[in-house]
Each structure stands twice: as structure tokens, then as C-alpha cells.
Amino acid sequence: MSMAATQVVRSEWTKIRSVASTVWTLGLAVVVTIALGMLISALSKNEFGDMSRRDQLSFDPTFISFAGTSLGQLAMIVFGVLVVGNEYSSGMIRTSLAAVPRRGTFLFSKIAVATALALVVAMVTSFATFFLGQAMLGDLKASIGDPGVLRAVFGGGLYMTLIAMFSMGVAAMLRSPMLSLGILMPFFFLISNILGNVPATEKVGRFLPDQAGSKIMQVVTPIDDDVPYGPWGGLGIMALWVIAALVGGYAVLKRRDA
């Protein structure tokens, strides 16, 4: 890495660290994911005896402990949007691009630093969520050494990181934090769930980034599961969405004035 690129990366790290909202958002992602995962794991343990035989056979203790990811990912979306979008809303983008005229270097440095930070936080969250969730499940718990479990826990961290990266790409394309959040929040929290659960659209819904990516956290395949890809295939589909968003963000930054 050249000296200039190193300085840009250092500058981006300083920007992220000095904005309180981005740091708080990552903290929120950790707390919400772990707390909700523990709560739903504890509730599932209490309800296991009342479940149908079919549900008991499909019971996935690892996946249950990641139940908090659905809310935790919203904090990751906010983090991804703020990292990129804050400079547009504050007007700082002009100063940044004047200091770093090579727009590819500027965007790559920003996304690389934010992704590295998101990855560390997401991995710590994922492992903590798993172990604390399993503690709540008592004798129903899975072990990290069981087949597929380590992959699911490691994949949980990758999933959260990819959500943040996708949000960064969308924010770079839309150039507005409010507009980005106004689209991403309903998309991941409502639209994706509806498309994935309505029979008429579920075959389309399963190829959306969150529906495909969350497959990586599944260890026990549900009965009658007809999804045409496995855990890594699902994460691969999500990665393609992320690449498309980042390429789109770069194309907009390169073509348009700040």
C-alpha cells in the first residue's frame, strides 16, 4: 500500500472513530443481537415440550441463538449508511474529495476501514450470541464442535458484516442518509420478510440478500426445505448483492460531482 493510500485509510479510521453515532450504533448491534438471542433461546427451551413432533425434529439450537440478528442487523444498516452518508449530509464530502481526488482510493479506503471494524464487532457478537444463547437452552444446546456449528457461528459474523457493506454501497449510490435508511429499513424489516413468506413470491424472496445470506447460520435443515442452495451458496448470493451495491456506489461517485 502506498504512503498516500495509508494516509487516506488512517484519515478514514479517525473519521469513523470520532463520530459518536457510528460507535454507538455498533454497540447497539452487539447488545440487541445478544440480548434478543438469549431471550428467544430461553423462551424456546420453555416451549420445546409443547412443540409438535415436526417442530422438534426441525429444532435448530444454533439458529435459535441467532434470532436477535434480525434486529441487530438494523443497527448494522444504520452504521453502514452513517459511515458513507454522513459526509454527504454535512457537506464534508467536498473537502474529502479535494483532499483525495482519486475517488476510487477514497471510497475503497472508507469501505475497507468500516468493513474491518464491522467484521471484528460482528465476529465477537456472533460467538458471544452463540455461547450465551446455548447457555439459555440448557440440555437442548448445541456444541461448537458439532457438525456445521462452527461454520454457522463464523457465518453469522460474515452475514452481519455483509449487511453493513451492502448498506455502504446503497448509501454511496443514494448520497443521502435519510433516503438510504428510508429504503433499507423497510426493505430488510418488512418487504423481504413478506416476499420470503408469501407462497406466490417466496421463490423470488429467497434470492434477496438477507434471505439467502441467513442460510449460513442454519445447521438443521427444516423438513420439506426446497431452497435450491446450501449455506455457502446463500452467502455467495448475498456477496453478489454486496458487490453490485458497491460497484453502483463507485459508479455514482465517479460520475457525479460532490
What are the DSSP calls for 197-242, one per residue?
HSTTTHHHHTTSHHHHHGGGG--SPPTT---SS-HHHHHHHHHHHH
Q: Which contacts (CB < 8 Å, 24+ apart) does range 229-235 have? A: 231/148, 231/151, 231/152, 231/155, 235/155, 235/158, 235/159, 235/162
Rg (CA), the chain: 19
CA distance to 5, 82, 164, 243, per residue, from 239 (Å):
25, 21, 12, 6
Placement of cell 435448530 in the chain: 60
Res 222: pLDDT:
81
pLDDT of residue 223: 77
Q: Where are the domains of the chain?
A: 3-255
To which H or E segment does residue 143 belong?
none
* Cβ atoms 229, 172 nearer than 8 A: no
What is the pLDDT, as a whole number, of residue 43? 95
* C-alpha span between 48 and 179 (Å, rounded): 42
Residue whose C-alpha cell is 443521502: 176
Note the pLDDT of residue 174. 93
Q: What is the predicted pLDDT for the residue at 1? A: 54
CA 141-143-148 angle, to 5 degrees, is 110
Question: So what's the pLDDT on residue 20?
Answer: 76
Q: What's this model's pTM, rounded to 2 decimal places? A: 0.91
* Contact in structure between 134 and 142 (CB atoms under 8 Å): yes
What pLDDT shows up at residue 57?
85
Are 102 and 5 a contacting pair, CB within 8 Å? no
- Residue 97 confidence (pLDDT): 59
pLDDT for residue 96: 56
Nearest to 180 by CA among 196, 195, 164: 164
Please, what are the averages of pLDDT over each run of 10 residues along the chain (258 residues)?
69 76 90 96 91 86 95 94 77 57 75 94 97 95 94 97 97 92 92 88 92 95 85 97 96 76
Q: How many whole angstroms separate alpha carbon 85 and alpha carbon 72?
A: 20
